[in-house]
Amino acid sequence: MTRHPTILPGGDCMIPRYSRPQMTSIWEPANKFRIWFEIEAHAADKLAELGVIPAASAKLVWEKGNKPYSQDRIDRIDAVEAEVKHDVIAFLTELAEQVGDEARFVHQGMTSSDVLDTCFNVQLVQATDILLEDMDKLLAALKKRAYETKDIACMGRSHGIHAEPVTFGLKLATFYAEFKRNRDRLVVAREEIATCAISGAVGTFANIDPQVEEHVAAKLGLKPEPVSTQVIPRDRHAAYFAALGVIASSVEHLATEIRHLQRTEVREVEEFFSKGQKGSSAMPHKRNPVLTENLTGLARLVRSMAIPAMENVALWHERDISHSSVERNIGPDATVTLDFALMRLTNVVENLVVYPERMDEILNQMGGLVFSQRVLLTLTQHGVSREDSYRIVQRNAMKVWNREGDLLSLLKTDADVTAKIPMETLESLFDLGYHTKHVDTIFARVFAD
């Protein structure tokens, strides 16, 4: 059954086809308003401790306002916003209806950005914690499959052309290292985004004590923003969404590798094709790399959101809201999409079908050309200049390209070669194990943790 986009209160659009409930729930109104309430209530606690508002009033905020944000409460906030055209005022109005007269002490000395920006960063931290879990699952899958295929030799390619042998496990180890770096980037991005601003209009703390900010930050697991004007500086968010864009690029990198290796002419690996699955409405024989193609598209979406995040850095003076409409979209969309993409990629890796026999077949497809460098180097070690060695090997290699024989046989009949390299030595140069002898060393480096 087709799942259509779900329009959430506030206008956020989630696409169920490419989203998971764990991540979408972070961006739903109930969670957002809950965070808004906690910001206001924690601020009231500190204001009471400082003697700015009555302690009983702060206590009452928690007693009467600390309720789940049901659909009825959300609908009421939306109704008020439709009239006042201001989301934070609408929220405070509904909260006052819950708390009563003591609500006049809520939001003392604060401005809307204190609530909005701090909440947005809390949501990004919550989303990042899920993304870090996703990364751990992907890394575990890559490590498992890398060790399973560590010694399965396959063709290495440069420019898409046969180069020299590698192993499929080494390919996966390369991607493991890349995603490990990405996980480290995500940890840094989380740390940078985890800041709180409760500094009031234009960020001067004129009407609110900096201790309130410190208290709220501690309660929410954030750090006080050193200087927030009236908004948290958007270079933090630019760096955050850029990190998501880099991760998305790595998703596309691995997806593209799998797509190339699944081509009919190659077919070294294949996405798992389940019983009953169909590949084409017209051609019953098709088994297409639909998951990795989908991941390529999703990666483009996530990456595209880094640019508007960077453009948000240049706000006017102490504050404008040109960033707001952007972030209401890219906050949910980037995190929801990347979460889905990482989990889908993990599934692809876990269930990837590997064809060692086909890899071996392709290794032998070009008549030994993959050993040309070793012949070149051996000639130089036997007194031939590098230029002459290259010319000798290349002229024989070109004959192989023209289907005039295999490289070893041609070299055995080349007097310039046999005059320098004994026949037994020449034959030993065509040893696959020579190219894979340091795989364990590379694995030890990659998986040192």
**Residues taking part in catalysis:** 159, 280
Token pair for 188: 């840094």
Q: How far is residue 247's CA from residue 167's CA, in Å, rounded to a whole number?
A: 24
- Chain centroid to CA 132: how far? 9
SS percent in the chain: helix, strand, coil, step 5:
65, 5, 30
Helical ranges in 279-385 per DSSP H: 290-304, 306-311, 324-351, 356-363, 372-381
Q: 127-164 b/e with 16+ CB inside 10 Å = b?
A: bbebbeebbebbbebbbebbeebbebbbbbeeeeebeb
Token pair for 147: 């060790």
What's the half-sphere exposure (Cβ side, CA atoms, 13 Å) at 281?
0
CA distances from 117 to 35, 53, 327 (A): 11, 24, 10
CA gyration radius for the chain? 30
Q: Which residues are 6's β-sheet partners?
A: 14
Which DSSP letter does residue 384 get?
Answer: -
Around Cβ 356, how many Cβ atoms within 10 Å? 14
Which residue in 296, 180, 291 sits closest to 249, CA to CA?
296
Q: How far is residue 171's CA from residue 142's CA, in Å, rounded to a whole number?
A: 10
Residue where the block lists tokens 């009452």: 60
